[in-house]
Structures are given as C-alpha cells and as structure tokens.
C-alpha cells in the first residue's frame, strides 16, 4: 500500500489502484507505522507525502517486488514449466473479441499460468503496470497517429480494428461520408480515446464543425443512442451490430496493442507466453 501511494501520489489514488476504500488504506498504513515504530507519511499539508522513513521502505518494497518477479522467472527456467500469475488490464470492447478467446486457449496450452483480468484503461492502468501491480495493459490508438512511446514500457501491436461510420437507421440513405453529416449531431467517446481522436481528425479533414450531443464510455451505449436517432458515431468494426446503419466510408482504424514493462528481465516467462497467445488470437 505504501508503494502504491508513492506511485499514485495520494491515498485516494492508492485505494483506487488496489480496489480498496481510502479509509481502509489509511487505516492499514497507520498499522504499518505502529509496526515499524516510525512515521511514514507527513499528513501536515493538504497532500500526504512520504517521510524519509517512508521513502526508505518504498525503496525496499520495489526491490522485494523485483526479486519476486525474478524468482518466478528463474523457477520457470529451471523446471521448464511456465507458471505463475499474469495480471491483465483490458477494456470492454476487446473482452469478447480478444481477451476471452485468448484466455480459453491459454488454459489449454499453459494450465499452470493463472491469469486475472481487471477492466482498466489509460494512465491508471499504465501506472499500475510500471509499479508491478499489472503485467499486461491492453491499449488502443488511432492508426493515423504516431505509435505512443512511453518510457519504461514496450508495446506489442496486436491487430487493427477498422473504424465504421454509423448513422441512425431512419436517417436519409444518401449519407455516405463524414462531409455528408455536416450540421448533424454526433455521439462521441470520452476525450483522448482512439475513437474521439478519429472523429475529430475526420471532422477536421472534412472541414465540418462537430455538434456532439452525447458522450459515452462504452460502445453498446454508443450504438443504443445512435439507433435511437441521437446522432452519428465512429466506432470500431468489432463493436457494430444490426441496430444501426453502416455507411461505406473508409475512415481508418484503431490499433489495439499490449504494453509490458521493458528491460532484460521483462516480460517474465508467464507474461511472455500470455502475450504470445494474445498475438495468436489477434491474428486469427
């Protein structure tokens, strides 16, 4: 918990990353302080910070976590048996098309690997990956953008999911491109998501203003609102169903990939095998 607080910068951030309540984290950190006989946190300011003793313990926690990961890797090499936990962060739209079938195959080929999945995305997931609380973080970005380069992390590209321009079924049949939708409303994704970047790029290329009426996190919500006539949307092809009308526009796609920690000891054998299964599943 102390290590999570050091990474996130707050008790609330540590609690979110550990799926606990902030009071529970605060209580356990006070227990830790009583056990070590020293104040680990400076609570005098508006923001909780680590004391010198707290920073010392966090450094030890980092080394302990690294030693545990190295022990798992060496044991796998010694026994020739790939085993151990692999913690994966994924997002809703790749669960059915990628994560679930990959885990089914992983259970058949590597039964001693113990995967666990958490639905998490973006900076919180990447922070957890950096501190060793996750092993694989799935991500997405607009293929028209440069591949993200993040310090300390390595990205493996898995597959390209083409975008589809969708409109309500009762809109005129002649609407076939983004330019044709000038003056009409849109259903968008949250800022900084791949589809949000794509929509803004396409609107700029077409020279039309965006009238965003609704913003949805998950694609089933986007499809429901488009089907109800709330607006058009840009979505990955893997998420489309028959409730909406798909235009013939060619508008690029999103790259789905997987982040792991970089370095000579990363990824460990279990994580590497899981990543390989994700790649094979994506190729299919």
What is the crossing angle of helices 22-36 and 11-18, to 10°? 110
Listed in sequence order, the residues at least 6 apart from 35 whose beta carbon sits closer than 8 Å to its beta carbon are none
Structure tokens at 59: 């450094």
In our burial notation (b when 16+ CB lie closer than 10 A, e otherwise), range 240-263 reads beeebbebebebbbbbbbbbbbee
In this model, does residue 139 exceed pLDDT 80? Answer: yes
pTM of the full structure: 0.74
Confidence of residue 13 (pLDDT cuts 50, 70, 90): confident
In this model, does residue 279 exceed pLDDT 80? Answer: yes
Residue 79 has a pLDDT of 67
Residue 265 has a pLDDT of 66
Distance CA 20, CA 105 (A): 31
For the residues of the chain, what is the DSSP string, one character each? -HHHHHHHSSHHHHHHHHT--HHHHHHHHHHHHHHHTS--EE-SSSS-EE-HHHHHHHHHHHHHHHHHHHHHHHHHHHHS---EEEEEEE-HHHIIIIIHHHHHHHHHH-TTEEEEEEE--SHHHHHHHHTTS-SEEEEEEETTSPPP--TTEEEEEEEEEEEEEEE-TTS-TT--SSGGGTT-EEEEPPTTSHHHHHHHHHHHHHT---EEEEE-SSHHHHHHHHHTTS-BEEEEGGG--TTSEE------EEEEEEEEE-STT-S-HHHHHHHHHHHHHHH-
pLDDT > 70 fraction of the chain, expressed in percent and rounded: 96
Q: Between these two residues, 265 and 158, which has the higher pLDDT value?
A: 158
In this model, does residue 275 exceed pLDDT 90? Answer: yes
Q: Are strands 136-142 and 185-188 parallel, antiparallel or unpaired?
A: unpaired
pLDDT tens per residue across span 174-207? 899 999 999 999 999 998 889 999 999 999 999 9
Distance CA 194, CA 228 (A): 23
Contact 260, 153 (CB under 8 A): yes
Rounded average pLDDT over 162-184: 94
Residue 82 has a pLDDT of 80
pLDDT tens per residue across span 77-116? 676 668 888 999 999 999 999 999 999 999 999 998 999 9
pLDDT tens per residue across span 81-90? 688 889 999 9
CA 196 vs CA 142, 202, 216: distances in Å:
9, 10, 11
Average pLDDT, the chain: 90
Confidence of residue 63 (pLDDT cuts 50, 70, 90): confident
Rounded average pLDDT over 35-39: 93
Rounded average pLDDT over 110-133: 89
Q: Are strands 136-142 and 153-167 parallel, antiparallel or unpaired?
A: unpaired
Structure tokens at 138: 């799935």
Residue 77 has a pLDDT of 65
pLDDT > 90 fraction of the chain, expressed in percent and rounded: 67
Phi, psi of 187 (to 5 degrees): -110, 120
């Amino acid at each position: 918990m102390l290590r999570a607080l050091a990474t996130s910068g707050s008790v609330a951030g540590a609690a979110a990353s550990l799926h606990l309540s902030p009071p529970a984290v605060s209580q356990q950190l006070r227990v830790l302080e009583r056990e070590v006989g020293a104040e680990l946190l400076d609570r005098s300011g508006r923001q909780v910070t680590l004391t010198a003793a707290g920073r010392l313990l966090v450094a030890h926690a980092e080394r302990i976590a690294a030693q545990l990961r190295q022990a798992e890797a060496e044991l796998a090499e010694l026994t020739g048996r790939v085993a151990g936990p692999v913690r994966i962060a994924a997002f809703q739209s790749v669960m059915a098309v990628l994560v679930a079938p990959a885990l089914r195959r992983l259970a058949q080929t590597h039964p001693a690997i113990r995967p666990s999945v958490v639905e998490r995305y973006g900076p919180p997931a990447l922070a957890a990956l950096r501190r060793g609380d996750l092993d694989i973080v799935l991500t997405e970005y607009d293929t028209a953008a440069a591949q993200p380069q993040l310090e300390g992390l390595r990205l493996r590209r898995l597959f390209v999911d083409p975008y589809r321009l969708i409109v309500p079924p009762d809109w005129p049949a002649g609407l076939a491109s983004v330019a044709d939708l000038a003056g009409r409303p849109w259903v968008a994704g949250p800022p900084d998501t791949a589809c949000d970047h794509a929509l803004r790029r396409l609107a700029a290329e077409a020279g039309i203003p965006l009238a965003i009426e609704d913003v949805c996190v998950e694609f089933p919500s986007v499809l429901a609102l488009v089907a109800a006539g709330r607006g058009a949307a840009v979505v990955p092809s893997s998420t489309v169903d028959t409730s909406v009308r798909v235009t013939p526009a060619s508008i690029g796609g999103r790259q789905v990939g997987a982040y792991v920690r970089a370095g000579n000891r990363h990824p460990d054998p279990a994580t590497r095998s899981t990543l390989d299964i994700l790649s094979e599943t994506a190729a299919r």
